[in-house]
Amino acid sequence: MSWLIVTDDFPPGFVGGISTWATDLGHALVAAGETVTVMARRTEGAEEADAMLPFPVVRVRGRSWARWQAVWTAGYALGRIGPGVRVVAATWRLARVLAPFIRLRGARLAVVSHGSDVTRLAVGDTGFAKTIEQAQVFLPVSQYLADQARRVDPRLSTAVAQLPMPLPDLVPSSAPSGEHLICLARLTSLKGVDRAIRLAHALGRPLHVVGDGAYRADLEMLTQQLDAEVVFFGSLTREESLEHLRQASACLLLPRPDQDGTGAEGLGLCLLEAAAVGVPVVGARTGGVPEAVGPGVILDDPDRFTPEDLQAVDALLADATAGETARAWVREQHGAELAVATLRRVLP
């Protein structure tokens, strides 16, 4: 049996989110003795990075990716599809054209969902419904996304199973954490980095921001207006980001949905990574974020901090056992072995 992971985002052109998931899943399957190939969009500098991986990466070329990704993916994947192949598509859009051929050729398909690929869909989206119908299983990374899929397709009949994140066994820091908080996110209005800045300022704590994006100038202006202590590090590699995480006292993720209520965060990988290195987390009651908080603190309205909110976060920061508690929780809920076991169970 062999596995084909089909993804739109993959290093080195992409950092975080689906890119991290696809990389971790490839490593997890190889470590479990499986034969793995990753198929990913071509980006500059990919050859050198791919050569360092323990599995081959097939790079897909194609123009107008947002519109034609399913066509380009199918064109590259068809020659690799046959009996005994298990295809794991990072999003349903990638599998839209490929799905019927997978079934026809005796292979099996799992479609994964991470967030906006489902949360921004209108009820009754026919492309989503037809693609999922042809898969053996639909694998959202949170219960929230499973609920969103049923919102889009109330008659969803395909098997649904939540897929644990294939987090590797990340090493926590052996040094005492700093006083600062950290926020790892693309700098867009939906990621709520402005909320993290206001929370850190209200707590009297410095904030380190890892990530970049078009919203950075607005966030820097807010920092100046509040006279807050914020350091912007820009976009970093995963290892650099993890090292920054290990030095923090807590990780914040306080996103918001679009104005129409769509597009909410699907889970919150950075919170799971923080917990995995022994750093407690603070999240918002938005989308699937509460499912990534575990024993941390959930804020109901991050735009209006109450005294009780600040007291709860202060208590978390003062708890010397909070990091280890978070680490124990995430190791029970996620990890490479759990992810592989789930895939083997749903795609026998």
- Locate the DSSP E strands across the chain: 2-7, 35-41, 57-60, 85-89, 108-113, 137-140, 159-160, 181-184, 207-210, 230-234, 250-253, 281-284, 297-299
Order of strands, sheet of 2-7, starting from the edge strand that comes earlier in the sequence: 57-60, 35-41, 2-7, 85-89, 108-113, 137-140, 159-160
Give pLDDT, residue 13.
87
DSSP state of 176: P
For residues 100-113, average pLDDT? 95
* Mean pLDDT to the nearest integer, 330-339: 98
Q: What is the pLDDT of residue 251?
A: 98
Higher local confidence (pLDDT), 67 or 330 = 330
- Residue 238: is its pLDDT beyond 90? yes
User: What values do phi and psi take at 301, rounded to 5?
Assistant: -140, 90
The percent of residues above 70 in pLDDT, for the chain, comes to: 100
Could you please report the per-residue DSSP string of 117-147?
HHHTPPTT-HHHHHHHHTSSEEEESSHHHHH
Task: Give the model's confidence band at 307: pLDDT under 50 very low, under 70 low, under 90 confident, else very high.
Answer: very high
Give residue-wise pLDDT tens across range 199-221: 999 999 999 999 999 999 999 99
State the pLDDT confidence band at 57, using cuts at 50, 70 and 90.
Answer: very high
Contact status, residue 309 vs residue 203, Cβ threshold 8 Å:
no
pLDDT at residue 128 is higher than 80? yes
Measured at the CA of 291, the angle between CA 93 and CA 16, to 5 degrees, comes to 50
Q: Is the separation of the CB atoms in 205 and 227 below 8 Å?
A: no
Residue 255 pLDDT: 98
Q: In which band, very low, low, confident or very high, does the pLDDT at 177 lie, cut at 50, 70 and 90?
A: confident
Q: Which domains does the chain have, with CATH numbers?
A: 2-163 (3.40.50.2000), 181-331 (3.40.50.2000)
Residue 211 per-residue DSSP state:
B
| This prediction's pTM | 0.95
Q: pLDDT at position 248, please?
A: 97
- Look at residue 175 and tell me whether its pLDDT is greater than 80: no
Distance CA 319, CA 198 (A): 22
Residue among 91, 37, 99, 39 nearest 66 (CA): 91
In this predicted structure, the answer to whether residue 174 has a pLDDT above a threshold of 90 is no
pLDDT at 63 exceeding the cut of 90? no
Mean pLDDT of the chain: 95
53 — phi, psi (to 5°)? -90, 155
